[in-house]
Amino acid sequence: MRGGHQLLLLQGGVEFFPALVEAMDAARMVVHLETYIFEFAGSALCVAEAMERAARRGVVVRLLIDGVGTPLVPEEWQRRFAEAGVVMRIYAPLGRLGLLAPRNWRRLHRKLCVVDGVVGFCGGINIIDDQHDVALGRLSAPRLDFALRVAGPLVEDMADTMEQLWWRTLAARRVRQREFKAAWDALRASRPVGDFSRLLQKIEALAESGEAGHNDGPYGESSPAPLGVDGARATLLLRDNVSHRHDIERAYLKAIGEARQDVVIANAYFIPGRKLRRALTLAAQRGVRVQLLLQGRYEHFLQYRAARPVYQRLVNAGIQIHEYAPSALHAKVAVVDRRWSTVGSTNLDPLSMLLAREANVMTNDRRFSGLLHSHLDGLVQHSGQLLDADAISRRPWIQRQLDRMAFAIMRITLFVTGHRY
């Protein structure tokens, strides 16, 4: 944890997109965005338009999108980005075998953006209209999701990890094209501190000369900060398939293991593994109040059904499970004892914990954690439907069999990839 961070919580695209656009419109040097879904429609269009404007001003604009989350970019926007100078790459395109190949299950799920090395964004919000869902279609109310706007030392960490992945993605593409010399050059460019450090030096020089943007305070004059703090201690947690396989899970386990009062988790796809289930159960046995705000809508067979047997065990252990009622829930946030909190892209399910690239910001700032706790507690009380243990066990026989089948499929799938969960 390092100090000196400005943290601003953004709920939904209605707050996230304007903050992104404001930062991109002030950009002088570089805009770098990673996302799982980029939908070129509805309220999300303003982000694409801001990237186009920035590139036309001469700003270096990079976009990395996942090949499953965004399988198709409209031809119009491919042309507009190319004409403006936006450089767009696809992470792990599926190829002919698609998801039949286990290697293609490793996806880019993190949502990161860095502008000029000055401001960064990290969270769970995709670039998609709040009232449109890929699986559920048109929503009657905006989905629940969160992101953080960050200023401070960890923004450089965000920039470095994005820079590494950018060049490694290029190297992978060059290998597929059998351009091995170009692939080697791209891998060399992906060293932990690459060209971005020199870019930061240029930005600092611009700031000293008064030419750089972002001079109107930590949040901008037009950006109120009802859930924001200055001077927070925070860090960036990553999940990849090399050196950071378990960092995010370990942070959750440590925080829950030290909990003495309450644990509040809002998570979209919640199928915790053995260690996390045990940590939550032991916390409840110690008298800690454990509240989970989870997705109540049926989206995908495996994720919805495989979660039900786990819910039964947790409710029997005294853990409160509330399903979000007003709309879809896509959040990935947590607070422990109003002293530790995290906001990011990580669902507490096998795909996020074992396979996908994820990113979370973690802080032990009591002011921010207290604000987030109050907000989540309000959502639990007013927007959550409490699951009853007897109601879960009384579900029709066929429903319970489908749940068990989904859970078994999930375990077998993990076994194929060489994981235990």
Catalytic amino acids?
A: 109, 111, 116, 330, 332, 337
Phi, psi of 267 (to 5 degrees): -150, 140
d(Cα 199, Cα 205) in Å, to the nearest integer? 10
Cα dihedral sign, 404-410-411-416: positive
d(Cα 189, Cα 89) in Å, to the nearest integer? 16
Nearest Cα to Cα of residue 101 among 90, 92, 111: 92
Query: Where are any strands of DSSP class E within 134-186?
Result: 137-138, 146-151
Exposure class string for 35-46: b at 16+ Cβ within 10 A, else e: bbbbbbeebbeb
d(Cα 29, Cα 195) in Å, to the nearest integer? 13
d(Cα 293, Cα 297) in Å, to the nearest integer? 12
Residue 118 CB neighbour total at 10 angstroms: 23
N-term to C-term CA, the chain: 28
